[in-house]
Amino acid sequence: MRRYTNRFINEHNLISGRVLSAIVVLPLSLTIAACSQPNATTADSKPATEPTTATQTALVEQPQAEIMPVSAHSDTQPTILKNISVTVYKDANCGCCKEWVGYAEGHGLNATAQNVEDVSLFKERYSVPQQMRSCHTTVTTDGYVFEGHVPAKYMAQFLKSPPSDAIGLAVPSMPVGSPGMEYQDKFMPYKVMQINKDGSIAIYATIDSPQQQI
């Protein structure tokens, strides 16, 4: 009887482990699918309330697993990044990087994309913290850094009045539903982070809905 009891317990643990692995892998699979199969459309919406800089934090909270319907990005401010020139360092095979560049250019940004073999070299050059990194790194002619899928709205707001202790903004990882990461009707809440000169980070804006990106 003891032998059969142990066998049952072992099989139960094995099944539980497989279920847990499936739960952990699902959000990552969705992110990868969104990056490789972007589906950008446009729709009108009202601008969101201006954000405030929150208390500095040492780590970024992981995006919530909850997925909600997304209203596509609007192009109601097509010149919000006018007269701003940048270089975007990206991998040649990154589809979502290309989508973000197109999105930013649609808001007036003058972008020069450079396909590089090792994007991490440029992230290190421009002092992007490891936990803030995403797929592409954007650098303005003034040396400000925008890492990942940062909405045009917050790029323009930052550049209009850059905090004295900051080098730029970052959207860590590749949140589904962020600019350039549109996938079907999905949206995952995320944070826009401020990168400071001393290597510290702070929350610049919390994006809980697609409309806040516009």
As a three-state string, the secondary structure of the chain is CHHHHHHHHHHHHHHHHHHHHHHHHHHHHHHHHHHHCCCCCCCCCCCCCCCCCCCEECCCCCCCCCCEECCCCCCCCCCCCCCCEEEEEECCCCHHHHHHHHHHHCCCCEEEEEECCCHHHHHHHCCCCHHHCCCCEEEECCCCEEEECCCHHHHHHHHHCCCCCEEEEEECCCCCCCCCCCCCCEECCEEEEEEECCCCEEEEEEECCHHHHC
Angular region, 173: left φ>0, alpha ψ -120 to 50, beta rest: left
Q: What digits encode the pLDDT tens for the residues 30-50?
A: 454 556 544 433 333 333 344
* pTM metric for this prediction: 0.70
pLDDT in tens, 121-173: 999 999 999 999 999 999 999 999 999 999 999 999 999 999 999 999 999 99
Which residues 6+ apart lie within 8 Å of 27 measured at CB? 63, 65, 188
pLDDT in tens, 5-33: 444 334 444 433 433 333 333 344 445 45
Q: What local confidence, expressed as pLDDT, does residue 158 receive?
A: 98
How much is the pLDDT for 6? 44
